[in-house]
Amino acid sequence: GNIADACAAATAFAEQNPESYEALSDYGYANPTFTATDLCPVLAIQPAATPEPAATAETPAATATEPITPILTLTATTDVSAVAPVLSGTDGELPACPTTLDGYASVLPAVIAVSEADPLVVETWLRLCDGMADDRGGMLLADFNGDGREDALFLPTIVSDLGFGPGGAQGAILIYHGNDSGGYDLVYSPDVYGQPTLLAVEDLNGDGAIDIAWTVEGCSTFCVKEVQIVTWDADAGDYVSIIEPGATIAEGTASVEALPEGSLGTGMQLLLTGGVSGTPEGGLEVDHTESWQSLDGQPFRRLSWLYNRETAGNDCLGLRLVEADVTLQAADVLGYAPAIEQYRAALDPALRACSIHGVPAIEELKLLQGLATFRLIQAQTLAGDDTAAAQDLAALQQGQPDSGFAQAAEAWLAAIQGGADPAAACLALQPIFDKETLTWQITDHFGINHPALAPEQVCFVPRDGE
């Protein structure tokens, strides 16, 4: 092909899509006016000798030790006006821009075909159609399922009055697999409510397969990011999730990082950091970091939650209980000793009351200390230390003889010592917490970013129920 043919195709595209050049003529009569023919000028430049064509190599499969790197970064700074999104010659024309976000799913395979899978051409088309910008949208062409054929991932994102993301941004996740005929089949398109952003495309859990991770940011009075991670399951013929629910952060960041030394997980870790928002009802603006890891290739799960000890307000008893509760939830891999230590530390009298709903400090501390002691007794019995549990039960009964926590702790210890499994013991205790509503409502007094307990969650049941 030659420059004249390329610019002719670019001019044809511009004439069909006037929005690609009209914005250049909106600066007053003293400034030059652009037309479709001005978008791609033809310069008389002597062409260099045409090199011999190189052999086309088969698309290599991505490996666990070689993370996929985008040919262009998701926030490419390419000068759109200097790149014509066309094929040389007359092999075809790029499709017109979709009029809705849903339209991208059916049009993108044709864009790949006409562009001969040139990522620069595809990205430029997306930018001209306003489905991608420096701060939204993205794409990646690579082999995701290990069959040796190039696949495609697109995150077209537009801005509209109906968007759920920041500033009205609304996007889609579209994964295509290359097929035997050289085309692309849409194989995965989950529901998205907000602005999607690609996090990583590599082996994240150490099982040797490529995983795809992204966030979706949705906003109301504040913005929340949710992390999703999927991998191709050949047996199921579909992409499957490899992360447990709940990987969300309000007004925070998500990143994929190397595992610290001594970690129990395999592959990489997901870090959620921040969690500070200005909600209408207020809240404790204490940021935290939580680590999500995969154990032996299993779905990512939360293993730790730590508040920033340098931030004012971190010395609230209610927040220290959040840390201990997360550790207890991971006791099947961490053991019960870390949770026992954290619940014991939560009884430090130096920790403060911090309710945002005006509960008297004495009442708040009594409820939270009762909860900490009940959970401590649970962890001790589950670890097989009935002696320590009995001692702490006696202290609880002396300090709070009429509390629901003292009643529940006594019934729990008796049930476990009598041979009941934890699930059955907790079921028997549930009427106590259903009646004594403050036992769990007090955990919802610190703001949206700090997890609260539901009535059926006050009594901890191990993952295996035993």
Residue 76: inside a domain: no
Residue 154: inside a domain: no
Task: Please name the residue that has the structure tokens 């993370």.
Answer: 67
Query: What is the model's pTM?
Result: 0.81
179 occurs within a structural domain: no
Q: DSSP string of 292-359?
A: EEESTTPPBEEEEEEE-TTSTTTTBHHHHHHHHHHHHHTHHHH-SHHHHHHHHHTT-TTSBP--TT--
Phi-psi region of 392 (alpha: psi -120 to 50; beta: other; left: phi over 0): alpha
Q: Residues 424, 409: contact at Cβ < 8 Å?
A: no
Give a yes or no: residue 43 inside a domain. Answer: no
Q: Quick check: is 417 in a domain?
A: yes
Q: Which amino acid is residue 425, in one-letter code?
A: A
Q: pLDDT in tens for each of the 466 residues of the chain?
A: 556 666 666 677 777 776 666 655 554 433 455 566 666 765 554 444 555 555 544 544 454 444 444 433 333 333 433 333 444 333 579 999 999 999 999 999 999 999 999 999 999 999 999 999 999 999 999 999 999 999 999 999 999 999 999 999 999 999 999 999 999 999 999 999 999 999 999 999 999 999 999 999 999 888 999 999 999 999 999 999 999 999 999 989 999 999 999 999 999 999 999 987 655 666 788 999 999 999 999 999 999 999 999 999 999 999 999 999 999 999 999 999 999 999 999 999 999 999 988 899 999 999 999 999 999 999 999 999 999 999 999 999 999 999 999 999 999 999 999 999 999 999 999 999 999 999 999 999 988 788 999 999 999 999 986 5
Assigned domain for 82 exists: no
Tell me how many domains the chain contains: 1
CA torsion angle for 69, 75, 78, 80 (degrees, to 10)? 130
**Residue 221, SS3?**
coil
- Decide if 388 is inside a domain: yes
Q: Is residue 247 part of a domain?
A: no
Query: Domain limits at 382?
Result: 332-466
d(CA 268, CA 205): 6
